Amino acid sequence: MQNSKLLLFLTLFSFLSHIATASPVPPKKNPVDQQIVLDKRYLNYADFTVQGVNVGGWLVLEPYINPSLFEAFRTNDDNDDGIPVDEYHYCEALGQEEATSRLQAHWSSWYTEADFEQMAAVGLNMVRIPIGYWAFQTLDTDPYVTGYQESYFDQAIEWCAKYGLKVWVDLHGAAGSQNGFDNSGLRDSYEFLNQDNLQVTTSVIQYLLKKYSAESYQDVVIGIELINEPLGPVLDMDGLKQYYLDGYDYLRNTLQSDQIVIIHDAFESYHYWDDFLTLSDGNWGVVVDHHHYQVFSNGELERDIDTHVEVACEWGSGVLTESHWTVAGEWAAALTDCAKWVNGVGFGARYDGSYYKSSTDTSSYIGSCDGIDDFTTWDDTRKANSRKYIEAQLDAFELRGGWIIWCWKTETSLEWDLQRLIYNGLFPQPLSDRQYPNQCNFST
């Protein structure tokens, strides 16, 4: 496999170099020698297969990862009325003083040095660390706690450096929200590209680009993601592309930095970004981040395990001819959406038919969610299917740049918790171990 990956990369690099040579473009302002940059930074992604994990539910709250923080608001057992649906409303409900107290306690305990030591011990080499814009700057109307998260973020980077882990800096939430998901900080809002919101988000990403592209961070930070999961189908894609272009221009021409730029695919199909910020146009050091799940629609949940595996394999083969280097920056072991609040506070689960968001957005029963978080109740078929699905994804994503699983730990959810998956023998240890080899029939 290592030889094939090397051959694949050399072929890709040769092809891109040929294009760059055959189709010269006018020099950019403040140009940096492309070959030096590619050798120093971009080729870092060929030196090793990214095998990483996301640090979820820490500096950006997600109710399904840390339900205890949100359960404190429960007033009845019949529904989720009155429970904040995201970090914005969590802080709004508590007020600044109490929200600061509770969040400081969470930030100082949910992730510690021991977590990063364990990540390295199980063979991981990369950590993607989400953080919201509000950690650095807020709108006048924002209820968020601000100004504390950066010190925890920097401490995490120091721990990564100590244990030999590389880092992606991930701007996970934009002002006004880029996707309407609770993981953006503000659910059911899509105002990212509004002028005032965009100005704040741009100010924050420029701060992150400047700070974490500095020489003092270059050995550990090997990518900065301009924004997590912008929801392409509801956004102005021209506006999003301009945001990407502005971030890239600021990094390359203002800062004259060779840091890697990560752009999320905005849930667009393969090859959508093939002609955007490409080496053939004189741009370099751009990695496309693809996120993959099969649990957020009835159709996906109804698939049998063979179909789940087949789709996972296609995730790997689908990127092989894309013009950018790619990494699967989020994926999961989950074959159900039974984890409490994974669809959002108050919405239920599609798998057991309890999901209801609106009269036109409901679900039908597929199977029971009973025991989904209790491994002792899992039968051999469920265990085997979980392991098969995980291994298929590992094989697929390692065809190209690699993978960063979501996420390291949760309070209660087995399907979304890498620590629990490893402990229960569902996730390979060592990472190269395969109980179900060659599911994808990739040539090696």
Q: What is the DSSP letter of 206?
A: H
**Residues 62, 225, 229, 415: which is the catalytic one?**
229
* 177 class by beta-carbon count within 10 Å (0-12 exposed, 13-18 middle, 19+ buried): buried
Q: How many CA atoms lie within 13 A of 298 on its CB side?
A: 12
Q: State the Cα–Cα distance between residues 397 and 292, nearest whole angstrom.
A: 10
Q: Are 143 and 88 in contact (CB under 8 A)?
A: yes
Q: What is the DSSP letter of 161?
A: H
Asked whether the predicted pLDDT for residue 348 surpasses 60, the reply is: yes
> What would the two tokens of residue 444 be?
């090696």
Q: Does 340 or 47 have the greater pLDDT score?
A: 340
Q: Are 65 and 141 in contact (CB under 8 A)?
A: no
Q: State the Cα–Cα distance between residues 341 and 320, nearest whole angstrom.
A: 35
Positive or negative, the Cα torsion across 293, 298, 300, 306? positive
- Percent of the chain clearing pLDDT 90 (strictly above): 86
Q: Strand 325-331 vs strand 356-358: parallel, antiparallel, or unpaired?
A: unpaired
CATH number of 2-423: 3.20.20.80
> What would the two tokens of residue 239 be?
């506006």
Q: For 423-432, which contacts have Cβ atoms below 8 Å and span 24 or more sequence positions?
A: 424/375, 425/383, 425/387, 426/333, 426/383, 426/386, 426/387, 426/390, 427/333, 427/387, 427/390, 428/390, 428/391, 428/394, 429/122, 429/123, 430/123, 431/51, 431/122, 431/123, 431/124, 431/394
| Other CB atoms within 10 A of residue 424 CB | 16
Return the SS3 of 122: coil
pLDDT digits 0-9 by tens, 33-78? 343 344 456 555 666 799 999 999 999 999 999 999 999 999 999 9
pTM assigned to the model? 0.91
> What would the two tokens of residue 146 be?
């601000």
Which span out of 21-35, 183-197, 270-284 was modeled with the highest average pLDDT? 183-197
Which segments within 133-226 are labelled E, that is strand?
A: 166-173, 221-225
Helix axis angle, 149-162 relative to 113-121, nearest 10°?
A: 30
pLDDT digits 0-9 by tens, 207-265? 999 999 999 999 999 999 999 999 999 999 999 999 999 999 999 999 999 999 999 99
Amino acid of residue 379: D
Return the SS3 of 127: strand
- Which of 140, 130, 146, 224 minimizes the C-alpha distance to 182? 130
Q: State the Cα–Cα distance between residues 131 and 124, nearest whole angstrom.
A: 21
Asked whether the predicted pLDDT for residue 369 surpasses 90, the reply is: yes
* 22 class by beta-carbon count within 10 Å (0-12 exposed, 13-18 middle, 19+ buried): exposed
pLDDT given at position 280: 84
Asked whether the predicted pLDDT for residue 289 surpasses 60, the reply is: yes
pLDDT given at position 442: 85
Q: What is the mean pLDDT of residues 165-187?
A: 98
- Which of 293, 327, 321 minimizes the C-alpha distance to 397? 327
Peptide bond preceding 233 in cis form (omega within 30 of 0): no
Q: Is residue 229 among the annotated active site residues?
A: yes
**Residues 330, 391, 398, 415: which is the catalytic one?**
330
Q: State the Cα–Cα distance between residues 247 and 223, nearest whole angstrom.
A: 13
Q: Are 362 and 356 in contact (CB under 8 A)?
A: yes
